[in-house]
Amino acid sequence: MHLPPLADYAALRRDFRWRLPARYNIAADICDRWALAEPDRPAIIEVTQDWRVTPVSFGTLREQSNRLAQALRAQGVERGDRIAILLPQGGAVLTAHLAAYKLGAIAVPLAALFGVDALAYRLVDAAAKVLITDAPGLAKAKQIAEPLPELGLVISVDGAADGAQDWHRLLAEASPDFVPVDTGPDDPALMIYTSGTTGNPKGALHGHRVLPGHLPGVQFPHEFLPQPGDIAWTPADWAWAGGLLNMLLPALHFGVPVVARPVTRFEPEEAFRLIADLGIRNAFVPPTALRMLRSVDRPSQRFALRLRTVAAAGEALGAETLAWGREALGLTINEAYGQTECNLVLASCAAIGVSRPGFIGKAVPGHEVAVLRADGTPCAPGEEGQIAVRSPDPVMFLGYWRRPEATAEKFIGDWMITGDQAVQDEEGYVRFIGRDDDVITSSGYRIGPGEIEDSLLKHAAVSLAAVVGKPDALRTEIVKAFIVLKPGIEASEALAEELQGFVRRRLSAHEYPREIAFCDDLPMTTTGKIIRRALRERG
């Protein structure tokens, strides 16, 4: 499952073979395997807000996750149960993931920035049996009005409160011995919610194979990770596919320690300090954060950087940021591409000459990627079409949680379609053009308009709401809302700010509309659907 050490792309493609074992468990692979061989080997390097640095070993993670798995089993958690994890970067969130995998349960990562409505929807839809969180997460959970009949156990790493059990007491009283359940590559392990064009987010369910499926896609842009001295970091929340699968879990598979620093806001100066002080060599940084890093003057002169590789994904990188990386960091930023449903299938690898400004890169060895017409036939070189990935593929999702129709709509024959428009040249390089639907790409997040519109409609002043993406130099797009107010309500700047705060609190900090336009009506089709294209043209 690892890339062979070949410096020729054609040879890599030719010689790579998937060798998935018949029985496989993510936790046994990324934790127990290392803990039994080298228990003191550092796995996580925690950095607190006041800059205290604490290594967490593989041995400690094994013991802690065993204890948590025992405690959960004692309280009735079984194979296939959903365990929601609402925690910032750190050893606890990884411990929770490992315990879920060892139990044969399904980990459901939730971003710390989620508001009450976003959290409630996912807990209800997943029918989560357990919620593992901290004091801020517990405060949000307390505000959920919807019934959560399946949620029988809440655990807080900050101690017992409001019906939540104490993480530390549970672990202290549980046995450190636990044998992971016997799982195969296709057994469910992980569910990450992803936004679509309409309606609420869908749970993309992955099997244990999702981790080995990601390995070549991480090795390629990180230029044959692992190399001696490699240390990994990403500012992306580990609840997102980018943070969890583009960095955390694959790095641990290779025994590469991962720096964990929980932050609520990305600060460029602080990021460079972290990279320098911790000796970070491999970073996965979304393009918006990279563009923010460009504001720091002369980083290589001011900070003792040891960066070996920087990978970026989630939105188009841009030629200017690529040129800045070469000048300011002394390396070529390797772009990558994927979706929550099928991640890291296209990438660059400058070390072997696979890098071209304006292009994502080529198909990662092990994956068959094409640009297709609407009828499923391959496009000619230079012809615009939709990025698609051929199944079966170990990185591909098992399906959407309890939505077989939506899963079926994701495929044309053997090809999983992405909804992303692109062109491919004669050499196999793929250039991203944009979405062919109304999903908004902002700061690397894919945002569905439906959930935001539903949230706005809950406000007493709003009669109709439509949400679109507006081009933005820093974030690729920002969320813009067009609002029709109820009779008798006056439009004002104060009301716009109130609506922004309303969505931010109920959904998340990355989904709220940064611009609001009040209007008398919205463009509609004859069947009553909003014509978002017309709104985008208004700017």
- CATH no. for residue 152? 3.40.50.980
Beta-bridge partners for 82: 106
The alpha carbon torsion through 263, 268, 272, 273 (nearest 10 deg) reads: -60
Residue 26 DSSP SS3: helix
In a domain, residue 449? The reply is yes
Residue type, 492: S
pLDDT digits (tens, 9 = 90+) for 334-356: 999 999 999 999 999 999 999 99
Mean pLDDT of 59-68: 98
**CATH of residue 474:** 3.30.300.30
Residue among 16, 418, 357 at smallest CA distance from 217: 16
Confidence grade of residue 367 (pLDDT, cut at 50, 70, 90): very high
pLDDT-derived band at 120 (thresholds 50, 70, 90) equals very high
User: Closest Cα to residue 398, out of 342, 337, 446?
Assistant: 342
Residue 273 in any domain: the answer is no
The model's pTM is 0.87
In angstroms, the Cα distances linking 448 to 320, 482, 531 are 28, 15, 15
pLDDT for the residue 200: 84
Report yes or no on 142 lying in a domain: yes
- Which residues make beta-bridge pairs with 362? 347
Identify the band that residue 434 occupies on the pLDDT scale cut at 50, 70 and 90: confident
The residue from 153, 183, 213 where one domain ends is 183
Distances (CA, A) of 23 to 19, 182, 240, 410: 12, 7, 26, 28
The predicted structure's pLDDT at residue 437 = 66
pLDDT for 196 equals: 64
pLDDT digits (tens, 9 = 90+) for 210-219: 999 999 999 9
What's the sign of the alpha-carbon dihedral 66, 72, 78, 80? Answer: negative
Is residue 346 in some structural domain?
Answer: no
Residue 76 has pLDDT above 90, yes or no: yes
User: Average pLDDT for residues 461-480, to the nearest whole number?
Assistant: 90
**pLDDT higher than threshold 80 for residue 483:** yes
- Residue 334's pLDDT is 98
At 461, the pLDDT band (50, 70, 90 cuts) reads very high
Q: What tens digit of pLDDT does each residue of 240-284 get?
A: 999 999 999 999 999 999 999 998 788 999 999 999 999 999 999
Whether 528 shows a pLDDT value over 70: the answer reads no
pLDDT at residue 322 tops 70 = yes
CB 110 within 8 A of CB 121: no
More confident residue, 305 or 533: 305
User: Can you give the residue range of the structural domain that contains 157?
Assistant: 25-45+57-183
Domain boundary among 183, 210, 232: 183
Phi and psi at residue 388, to the nearest 5°: -140, 155
- Asked if the structure places residue 116 within a domain, the reply is yes
> Tens digits of per-residue pLDDT, 492-507?
999 999 999 999 998 8
The pLDDT confidence band at residue 104, using thresholds 50, 70 and 90, is very high
What pLDDT is recorded for position 529?
57
- For residue 166, tell me if it sits in a domain: yes
Percent residues over pLDDT 70 in the chain:
98
**Which residues are CB-contacts of 391 (< 8 A; sequence separation ≥ 6)?**
411, 414, 415, 416
CA dist 252 to 55, 248, 531, Å?
14, 6, 46
- For the chain, what is the domain count? 2
Average pLDDT over residues 473-502: 93
- Residues 169-187 have a mean pLDDT of 98
CA torsion 135-140-144-149 (nearest 10°) is -40
**How confident is the model over 9-26, as pLDDT tens digits?**
999 999 999 999 999 999
Phi-psi region of 7 (alpha: psi -120 to 50; beta: other; left: phi over 0): alpha
Identify the pLDDT of residue 198: 60
- Quick one: 382 exposed, middle or buried, by C-beta within 10 A (0-12, 13-18, 19+)? exposed
Cβ neighbours for 313, distance < 8 A, ≥ 6 positions apart: 242, 246, 284, 286, 335, 336, 337, 338, 344, 444
33 has pLDDT over 90? yes
Percent residues over pLDDT 90 in the chain: 80
Residues paired with 335 in a beta bridge: 312
- Nearest-angstrom CA–CA distance, 59 and 227: 22
35 in Cβ contact with 16 (< 8 Å): no
Angle value at C-alpha 343, between 79 and 370, nearest 5 degrees: 130
Half-sphere exposure of 147 (CA within 13 A, CB side): 2
The structure tokens 């990403």 sit at 234
Pairing label, strands 385-390, 462-472: unpaired
Q: What is the mean pLDDT of the chain?
A: 93
Q: In sequence order, what are the residues at sequence separation of 6 or more whose Cβ sits closer than 8 angstroms to the Cβ of residue 493?
A: none
pLDDT at 527: 45
Alpha carbons 234 and 264: distance in angstroms, whole number: 14
81 part of a folded domain? yes
CA distances from 332 to 28, 284, 307, 466, 496 (A): 34, 13, 11, 40, 42
What span, in angstroms and rounded, lies between the C-alpha atoms of 99 and 179? Answer: 11
Q: What is the pLDDT of residue 72?
A: 98
Given a contact cutoff of 8 angstroms between Cβ atoms, the answer to whether 535 and 518 are in contact is no
pLDDT at position 454, please? 77
Average pLDDT over residues 385-395: 97
Residue 39, Cβ density class (10 Å: 0-12 exposed, 13-18 middle, ≥19 buried): middle
pLDDT at 27 > cutoff 80: yes
Q: What is the mean pLDDT of residues 445-455?
A: 81
Pick the closest to residue 294 from 318, 274, 275, 268 (CA basis): 268
Lowest mean pLDDT among 38-52, 57-71, 228-242, 305-319: 305-319
pLDDT at 34: 98
| Cβ(516)–Cβ(500) below 8 Å | yes
Residue 526 has pLDDT above 60, yes or no: no
Q: How long, in residues, is the chain?
A: 539
Of 183, 200, 221, which residue sits at a domain end?
183
Per-residue pLDDT at 197? 56
Work out the average pLDDT over 28-48.
98
Query: In this structure, is residue 276 part of a structural domain?
Result: no
Inform me whether the pLDDT recorded for 32 exceeds 70. Answer: yes
Q: What is the CB neighbour count within 10 angstroms for residue 228?
A: 5
Q: In this predicted structure, what is the pLDDT of residue 372? A: 97
